Amino acid sequence: MNFWFRLPIWTRLGIIATILLIVAVISFALWTNDPAHHRPMASIIRFAPILFLFWLAWSDLRRVPFWVWLLMPVILIICALRPMFWFFVIPAAVFALFVMPKKKKK
């Protein structure tokens, strides 16, 4: 168990994402008509690819400024309550991607 915690977070995220992708594929292949199994399988099938995409984008996510991480939940909650704000948030995010200065590699 101590070995698991000595692994870098990127590696642990990749292992968990791979296991969830395998479970999602098996769950999708063995889909039953039992309603008790639909909700857990559907949530694994949705969550596994998202976690895998986070694993792929890990190096880029580390470069996101801290204030963006603080602002993101607030924006998501506002957009969940008022979906019309997505029409302002998405163009503003794309504009910010092009305007923000690039960090120079060392």
User: Nearest to residue 14, comparing CAs of 55, 44, 50?
Assistant: 55
| DSSP state for residue 32 in the 8-state scheme | -
Distance CA 19, CA 58 (A): 18
Candidate from 40-49, 83-92, 95-104 with smallest mean pLDDT = 95-104
Residue pLDDT, tens place only, 56-95: 888 878 877 888 888 888 988 988 898 898 899 888 888 8
Question: Among residues of the chain, what percentage have pLDDT more than 70?
Answer: 89
pTM metric for this prediction: 0.57
- What is the structure's pLDDT at 36? 65
Q: Is 82 left (phi over 0), alpha (psi -120 to 50) or beta?
A: beta
